[in-house]
Amino acid sequence: MPAIQGIQLSKSYRHYQVLRNVSFEVAPGECYALFGPNGAGKTTLLKVLATLQKPSSGRFEMMGYDGIQDRNQVRGVLMMIAHGSYLYSELDAVENLRFAAGLRSLSPTAREIKLALDRVGIGAFADFKIRYFSEGMKKRLSIAKAILIRPKVLLMDEPYSSLDERGIAMMNHFIRESLEQGAAVLMTSHNRVQSAEVAGKAGVLHQGVLREIAVKDLVAPHELF
Amino acid sequence: MNFFNVIRWLAWKDLLSEMRSRENISSMFFFAFIVILIFSFSFSMDQKTAQELMPGIMWVAFIFTGIIGLGKSFTAELQNDCLENLQMNPIPRGAIYLGKLVSNLLFMLVVEVILFPLFVIFFNLDIFEKIPLIMLILIAGTLGVSAVGTLFSAMTVQIRAREVMLPILLLPLIVPVIIGAVEATGGVLQGESVLLYRPWIELLIIFDVIFTIVSFWVFEFILDY
């Protein structure tokens, strides 16, 4: 059973069709890297899969749950790391992690939280309010959140943006570890070389149409779109 | 149990954020304080006139103050796309409503409890033995405003003219609360028999029950597709 299966997904905003009959599969333990120019519909596809937007037509399944009928079950298996950090500025790093875990009925210990923060390299900033965090630090904290929650499906919108070199290496290490634990990852990216290190499948979304490509094409010196 | 956990976590997050930023309560307090000053210096009143006018002035101040706080309740969630995160989490929508209702209610009550003595001083009233009844009316009236206001705050958060739309939608619907609260407060201040103003308190309680239940149910359709 695929972890994520998109079946003829389409999405329109008034008369503008963003996604056109997009179909794809991501198996458990597999990473699908999605490329495409700005405005191609990559983020829209992630928002549809994250149950934030209803597809205009088509359907999708996540871990066997119907993406529209069983939205709450789908929400229980997924987590998204996106441009917005989903963090509260007046809370510190630990409080943000406790809040995120609490909403999912998880209660990580202080040690688990410390380990997660240390792993993403911001252990020294545990009691700093998020308003003082840089975008890269916020991205690292989002990874710490994922380490604690351990979702079965990870949706990542440009996971390498705002990260320094160490951060990118840490992100890829985290993705590989998640894949080893059986999670499915669907990520959008503009970073072909870094994505090629973890992706098992790749696709190009252009003008709303998805075309699958070989992962080895990611590192080839020709243009994807 | 997750239902009550979500309420607790949301209220905790809002209260902690407010304790640190004091954005909501300080703007609410200063607005209401200015209203008290303007009205107390605009009219020269004997105690009888003050008892007649004060309930109306007080509730106008409390309700407009409340609208300031309610307006910020969900706009705060737009920062870092936190509202998206709430929508993506596997949590009952009704629990989000109740969590927000609890924090909105507490913000309004805190401001009212601070301001009420100022009303008493500026309007030169003797109300010491009437405090328990006044508190009951404050809680019942404020719950009614918060119950409907929390719903409309969520409904208007995604639209551009939300600052204008919230009072336009909210004020007509809470007319029964305004009338009930003003009449009940006036009855208590003027030392009328309980039998005369009890129906107004009952109206407030019935309004609270009906609109909390209806808003709780409607909220499911507001924060989801």
A204 backbone dihedrals φ, ψ, rounded to 5°: -115, 125
Asked if A51 and B82 come within 8 Å (Cβ–Cβ), the reply is no
Q: What is the pLDDT confidence band of residue B225, given thresholds at 50, 70 and 90? A: confident
Give yes or no for a contact between A26 and A187, defined as CB atoms under 8 angstroms apart.
no
pLDDT at position B158, please? 87
Asked if A82 and B80 come within 8 Å (Cβ–Cβ), the reply is no
pLDDT at position B50, please? 79
Provide the β-strand partners of residue A50. none
Report the C-alpha gap between B194 and B177 in whole angstroms.
18
Helix, strand, coil abundance in chain A, percent, nearest 5: 35, 25, 35
Predicted confidence (pLDDT) at residue B7 exceeds the cutoff of 80? yes
Q: How far is A27 from chain B (nearest CA, A)?
A: 22
Which of B2, B12, B84 has its CB closest to that of A84? Answer: B84
Q: What is the pLDDT confidence band of residue B48, given thresholds at 50, 70 and 90? A: confident
pLDDT at position A17, please? 94
Domain boundaries, chain B: 2-222
Q: What is the pLDDT confidence band of residue A218, given thresholds at 50, 70 and 90? A: confident
Predicted confidence (pLDDT) at residue B1 exceeds the cutoff of 70? no
Give yes or no for a contact between B151 and B222, defined as CB atoms under 8 angstroms apart.
yes
Q: What is the mean pLDDT of chain B?
A: 92
**A46 closest CA partner among A199, A159, A170:** A159
Average pLDDT of B43-72? Answer: 88
- The dihedral through the CA atoms of B157, A85, B220, A107 has a sign that is negative
B222 touches chain A (CB under 8 A): no
DSSP element (H, E) containing B87? helix B82-88
Q: What is the DSSP letter of A63?
A: T
Asked if B88 and A102 come within 8 Å (Cβ–Cβ), the reply is no
pLDDT at position A125, please? 97
Q: What is the pLDDT confidence band of residue B13, given thresholds at 50, 70 and 90? A: very high
Predicted confidence (pLDDT) at residue A77 exceeds the cutoff of 90? yes
- A38-69 pLDDT, tens per residue? 999 999 999 999 999 999 999 999 999 999 99
Beta strand A4-13 pairing with A57-62: antiparallel
Range from A142-156, B7-21, B52-66, B168-182 carrying the lowest mean pLDDT: B52-66
Q: What is the DSSP letter of A129?
A: B
B17 touches chain A (CB under 8 A): yes
Beta strand A184-188 pairing with A57-62: unpaired
A224 burial type by CB count under 10 A (0-12 exposed, 13-18 middle, 19+ buried)? middle
CB atoms near residue B129 (< 10 Å): 8
Q: What is the pLDDT confidence band of residue B133, given thresholds at 50, 70 and 90? A: very high
Give yes or no for a contact between A58 and A9, defined as CB atoms under 8 angstroms apart.
yes
CB atoms near residue B42 (< 10 Å): 9
Over pLDDT 90: what percentage of chain B?
A: 72
Predicted confidence (pLDDT) at residue B146 exceeds the cutoff of 60? yes
**B76 closest CA partner among B103, B114, B113, B115:** B103
Q: Can you tell me which residue has the tokens 């609260």?
A: B181
Beta strand A4-13 pairing with A65-66: unpaired
Predicted confidence (pLDDT) at residue B42 exceeds the cutoff of 90? no
Q: Which residues of chain A neighbour B6 with C-beta distances below 8 Å? A: 103
- B19-30 pLDDT, tens per residue? 999 888 899 889
The CATH superfamily label for domain A4-86+151-219 reads P-loop containing nucleotide triphosphate hydrolases (3.40.50.300)
Q: Which two tokens stand for residue B165?
A: 């739309």
C-alpha distances (whole Å) from A166 to each of A104, A193, A218 are: 30, 15, 21
Q: Which residues contact A104 (CB under 8 A, 6 or more apart)?
A: A76, A149, B89, B90
- A137-178 pLDDT, tens per residue? 999 999 999 999 999 999 999 999 999 999 999 999 999 999
Asked if B20 and A90 come within 8 Å (Cβ–Cβ), the reply is yes
Predicted confidence (pLDDT) at residue B109 exceeds the cutoff of 80? yes
Q: What is the pLDDT confidence band of residue A205, given thresholds at 50, 70 and 90? A: very high
- A90-138 pLDDT, tens per residue? 999 999 999 999 999 999 999 999 999 999 999 999 999 999 999 999 9
Amino acid of residue B69: G
Amino acid of residue A182: G
Which of A71, A79, A91 has its CB closest to that of B17? Answer: A91
Q: Which residues of chain A neighbour B81 with C-beta distances below 8 Å? A: 82-86
